[in-house]
Amino acid sequence: MGNIAHAVALQANLTTRSIFSVGQELRKNIAAAIAAVVVGLYILMAVFAPALAPYPPNETALAERLQPPGAEHWLGTDGLGRDIFSRCLYGARVSILVGFLAVTLCVVFGVSLGLMAGFYRGRLDSIFSRFSELLMAFPYLISAIAMMAFLGPGFFNLVWALALRGWVEFFRLSRGDTLAQQTREYVDAARSLGLSGWQIMLNEILPNIVPSIIVLATLRVGFMIVLEASLSFLGVGIPPSIPAWGSMISEGRGVLFIAWWVSTLPGIILMVLVLAINLLGEGLREVLDPRLKVQT
Amino acid sequence: MRLVRIIERMLGAIPVVLGVLIIVFFFMRLLPGDPVEIMLGDTSASKREMDSLRAELHLDKPVYEQLWLFVSGVARGDLGTSLDKRKPVATLLAETLPPTIELTLAIFLVAILIALPVGVFTALKPGSWFDRTTMTGALLGISMPNFWFGLILILFFSVHLGWFPTSGQIAATLDLEKITGFLTVDALLTGNWAAFKDVLRHLFLPATTLGVAFAAIMARVIRSSMLETMRMEYVVAARAKGVSEPMVVVRHALRNAMIPVVTVAGLEVGMLLGGNMIVETIFSWPGLGRLVVSSIFSRDYVVVQCAVMLYALTYVAANLIVDIIYTFLNPKIEL
């Protein structure tokens, strides 16, 4: 197995080879390796939720309301008799999808603007730098809540509301890194070879700033998942018709005194995922960004 | 010299404040849909009602005039009228601000009481079992959604043990004369010990909910900053001079280690402000955060807009204060 993997790695191009070596390094960090497995399991849970869920997530059965966890309902039932385990499986879809989509948007906008601002400097750079500083004055949750208040609950509204403030950190990180890389000799060499600005940015600088972007993006996925849950908890995130962990925890508030499991268990499921993502991010940082540039 | 720099830094914040005002102003106008229609929403308002609301919000005027009216209104302290509560927004904010400030200070206190000793001790013995357990705990604290942690605290301390109340700021049966709006201060001023104790009991769970999350972040920062400074030459020199170890840690290392800690604390004020909103909602705390959330549901967007502005300005002010604290921690830093 190891030999085959090794042979494949030798044949592969630079990018996949470095991904492979990152995987090798990560395996030495036991916590990060376990975290990677946990994240993988959650993704599988989300993908195969329809096959794994013992009950339809929105099926109400008033005769079976507030059943404690047991053989029939592994994680019990909520105030409408819905199976909490099935709803948690479907909730994983929402959380993971929102987290990944929001971070992807942030990376696409933030990194492309950051590269251009750091590379070309000038007016474009000062406009976006000032604007990003201004946006930083609006705390994440507050800007997202304000935007959701106007847009109304909805899946894509939520993704946009999270990305609106989230790109700023990727912009600042990639701009700073680009500025630092600019002074390196290989950029001068690429210039003297007559490469265009775009070629230098995409082929020369970008590969060198990708590691710290990956670290920040990983940590931010966990953060976005918590934000999504917070907004859904407050009732301004995912609409109530879609099972989401945040709204499940919120629904359990009313019955906290008689049925502890309704709020508690989805919260633990949420926390384990976020913890795994954070551990994975920390592990990746040790491998990819040892100078500890990215703040958590 | 220091004073001059501080004044310069304060003047530098003015464009940021103006920028915040402009973003808040355009926020409501750039989003899709007619704000008046969104606000009156399901109430099937007549054309006349919509027009009068539009006039009240100056939405019938050209944009530059609206912007001027908004900025000059803010400067005069006139923030408009709440549609839902029919009260001036400035009054609403003034009523809800003291409980929020009181809660935030309590959160800070909880966070410092946990994070400072944990951060310092883990840095003195990196790799020890205490270091590993608390740092795992800190990562858990960072990964834990604070609204869920609040519910767990209620479940354990209120439902199970019955020690602390689950909502509000003070028991309805207690009579406390309002002087400053800060209930702990009012209770002390009037010498009302029963009320003081009750206010502290109400404060405990919400402050712990967010305080623990904040402590988790800060303990990690304090630890890594302490690890760095403990390796510095001046620490070695102090030891060589025969300074006692506690003095080395407190006077030489900690003071310098606090510089990055203060920066991160300033940046994380945003997390505190957002977290307040959640904690106030869970514990029915009569502060700004709960006002915002309830205003969203009553479509009272004038209040939402002003509160968002206030949050952003608080963030700017907090980071201004951080920069000023810097100069006292390390006089060499230029602002």
Domains in chain A (CATH in brackets) are: 2-292 (1.10.3720.10)
Provide, rounded to the nearest whole percent, the portion of chain A with pLDDT above 70.
91
Is B66 touching A (CB cutoff 8 A)?
Answer: no
Q: Name every chain B residue with its beta carbon within 8 A of the beta carbon of A224.
A: none
B270/A140 CB distance under 8 A: yes
* Count of beta carbons in the 10 Å neighbourhood of residue A251: 19
The closest CB to that of B151, out of A146, A147, A249, belongs to: A249
pLDDT value of position A290: 65
B19 touches chain A (CB under 8 A): yes
**Cβ-based contacts of A136 with chain B (< 8 Å):** 270, 315
B155 closest CB neighbour out of A222, A246, A256: A256
- B274, B304, B311 member nearest A149 (Cβ): B304
Average pLDDT over residues A117-137: 89
Rounded to the nearest angstrom, the minimum Cα separation between B177 and chain A is 33
| pLDDT at residue number A93 | 93
Angle, CA of B230, B138 and B214, to the nearest 5° = 95
**Nearest residue of chain A to residue B138 (CA atoms):** A275
B107 in contact with A, Cβ within 8 Å: no
For chain B, list residues with pLDDT below 70: 1, 31-33, 41-44, 331-335
Chain A within 8 Å of B216 (Cβ-Cβ)? no
pLDDT value, residue A292 = 52
Give pLDDT tens digits for B252-305.
888 888 888 888 888 888 888 888 989 999 999 999 999 988 888 887 888 888
The verdict on a CB contact (< 8 Å) between A234 and B140 is no
Query: Are A214 and A19 spatial neighbours (Cβ–Cβ below 8 Å)?
Result: no
Q: Give pLDDT, residue A222.
A: 93
Q: What is the pLDDT of residue A296?
A: 43
User: What pLDDT, on the 0 to 100 scale, is given for residue A295?
Assistant: 47
Give the per-residue pLDDT at A6.
Answer: 41
| pTM of the full structure | 0.87
The CA dihedral of A248, A92, B277, B23, to the nearest 10 degrees, is: -140
For A279, nearest residue in chain B (alpha carbons): B139
Type of residue found at A69: P
* Interface predicted TM-score (ipTM) of this complex, two decimals: 0.84
Scanning B125-164 for CB atoms below 8 A from A yields 139-140, 142-148, 151-152, 154-155, 159
B226: exposed, middle or buried (Cβ count in 10 Å: 0-12, 13-18, 19+): buried
Is B296 in contact with A256 (Cβ distance < 8 A)? Answer: no
pLDDT (tens digit per residue) in A204-240 = 899 888 988 998 999 999 999 999 999 999 888 888 8
Phi, psi of A191 (to 5 degrees): -65, -45
| Cα(B277)–Cα(B210) distance, integer angstroms | 11
Could you tell me the two tokens for A238?
A: 């995912």
Give the pLDDT confidence score for residue A3 in this predicted structure.
42
Of the candidates A134, A145, A149, the beta carbon closest to that of B23 is on A134
List pLDDT tens digits, range A144-161: 988 888 788 889 999 999
Could you read off the pLDDT of A158-180 as tens digits, one per residue?
A: 999 999 889 999 999 999 989 88
Q: Where are the domains of chain B?
A: 14-75, 92-329
What are the chain A neighbours of B155 within 8 Å (beta carbons)? 256, 260, 263-264
User: What CA–CA distances, in Å, run from A263 to A277, B22, B154?
Assistant: 22, 40, 12
For chains A and B, what is the number of CB pairs under 8 angstroms? 143
Residues of A in contact with B305 (CB under 8 A): 146
**Cβ(A77)–Cβ(A138) under 8 Å?**
no
Q: What is the mean pLDDT of chain A?
A: 86
CA distance A140 to A155: 18
A183 vs A271, residue with greater confidence: A271
- For residue A77, list its beta bridge partners: A83
Residues of A in contact with B310 (CB under 8 A): none
- pLDDT exceeds 50 at position A118: yes
Provide, rounded to the nearest whole percent, the portion of chain A with pLDDT above 90: 40
- CATH architecture, domain defined by B92-329: Orthogonal Bundle (1.10)
Give which of A149, A277, A146, A176 is closest to A223, Cα–Cα.
A277
Q: Kindly write down the DSSP assignment for every residue of B14-76, as one continuous string.
A: HHHHHHHHHHHHHHHHHSSS-HHHHHHGGG---HHHHHHHHHHTTTTS-HHHHHHHHHHHHHH
Nearest to A275 among B20, B139, B315 (CB): B139
Query: Do the Cβ atoms of A264 and B151 come within 8 Å?
Result: yes
Decide if B13 touches A, using CB distance below 8 A: no
Q: Are B271 and B279 in contact (CB under 8 A)?
A: no
Residue A114 has pLDDT above 90, yes or no: yes
* Angstroms from A7 CA to nearest CA on chain B: 37
Q: Do A142 and B277 touch (CB under 8 A)?
A: yes
pLDDT at B114: 94
Mutate to test the interface with A, among B17, B42, B147, B288 (most CBs of A within 10 A): B147
Query: Residue A292: closest CA among chain B residues belongs to which residue?
Result: B224
pLDDT band at residue A107 using 50, 70 and 90 as cut-offs: very high
